[in-house]
Amino acid sequence: MIKVIKNRYIKLVKNENNKQLNQLPQFNFGFALLKNILSFSVIITHCFNNNTTRDNIILFITKRRRIHVPSFFILSFYFNYNTLVSSDCKKKIERIIRLLIPFIGWPIIVFVFCNYNSTYKQNPKLTSFDVLKEQIFTGQGQELFHFWYLFCLIATTLLFLIIIIIFRKWHLFVLNLLLILSYYLQYSYNYKKLLPYYHNIEGLRRAHDLFPFAVMGFNLKAFNILKILEKYKFNTFVICVLIYNFTEDYEIFRNISGIAYFGIKLNVLSICTVIIFSLFPSNKIKNKYLITILKLITNCSGGIFYLHQAVQFFFRPYYKDIRHGTFKGMILIYFISYIISLVGSTIFTKTKLKFLFS
């Protein structure tokens, strides 16, 4: 009798464990792949010299490179939807801290390093305390000028949190109302009236540009749009590819300007890109080693973004490919940034300093 009860208990525990495993979120191979492509695209945008090559593949990448920031913004608010709408304040605070640590941490690291290094000590852009303050308060000033992106991410996240707290039941309606207002301001001459209020703070102006992409990502998760489209994978894929190429190649979309991070075209291209990669058949990838490797690289995509500009600046005296901005140099920047991110996140894995590298 005792043996029967014991066997039933073991069977029950096994079933419960299997149920919990099935409830775990599936690794999204498509989004992981997209994050890595976008990370490399960021490096291409900031560090590549178009005059060094006429290779068709490079021209293809550089032609479409501008979707990296909008796509990253969509993904960020898609993945953080549950955190932002959660009633758990601790999760929300942790999200802000996660963004603030690299935003404040890297400028201070660069400032301290350059002040104690004779090679860079004479460069006021790297050693001036006033420049450091400008970098921390605006996301620009040092060689980390791309940190305006983090400035936008923090500002937009705080705006979303305020709206969610104030309009708890109506937050989606309010956000989409602001989305329409944002498009109106950007595609009418009214946006010019706002420009004096930015006081040359690039991050603040860009936050206004990128707001629509944040709402797009939020809507994708809130309305379960990607799950619905997954039922019609083939049709969705074909339609998105057709829309993408039509939008990219036809002149009509190039003539619709406004701010909106290079105009209406990138709104269409970035959302199509995210949907296309979401349709990747992740459930067909069974190779655990391949998934582990991709997870390892993807976990460092944040660090690659934070570091690549500094890596280019500090390593260009030693590598002519980095100095001349060749494609080989871009691979070197990616590789060096990844190694530093991997080592840093491994060393500080049990502390919040890991957010500097991941």
- Residue 26 per-residue DSSP state: P
Q: Dump pLDDT digits (tens) for 118-172.
A: 788 888 878 888 888 888 888 887 777 788 889 989 999 999 999 999 998 899 9
Most confidently modeled of 25-39, 87-101, 134-148, 197-211?
A: 87-101
C-alpha 61/C-alpha 41 separation (Å) is: 7
The amino acid occupying position 206 is R
Structure tokens at 106: 């890297």
Band of pLDDT at residue 1, cut at 50, 70 and 90? very low
Structure tokens at 356: 């500097």
pTM of the predicted model as reported, rounded to 2 decimal places = 0.84
Structure tokens at 273: 């890109």
Q: Dump pLDDT digits (tens) for 247-306.
A: 766 655 555 555 555 667 788 889 999 999 999 887 777 777 877 888 888 888 888 999
Of 193, 276, 181, 289, nearest to 236 by C-alpha is 276
Q: Dump pLDDT digits (tens) for 6-46.
A: 454 344 334 434 443 343 346 788 898 888 888 888 888 88
Q: 204 vs 81, which has greater pLDDT?
A: 81
The answer to whether 353 and 101 have CB atoms below 8 angstroms apart is yes
Arithmetic mean of pLDDT over the chain: 81
Q: What share of the chain is helix, strand, coil (3-state, %, to 5)?
A: 80, 0, 20
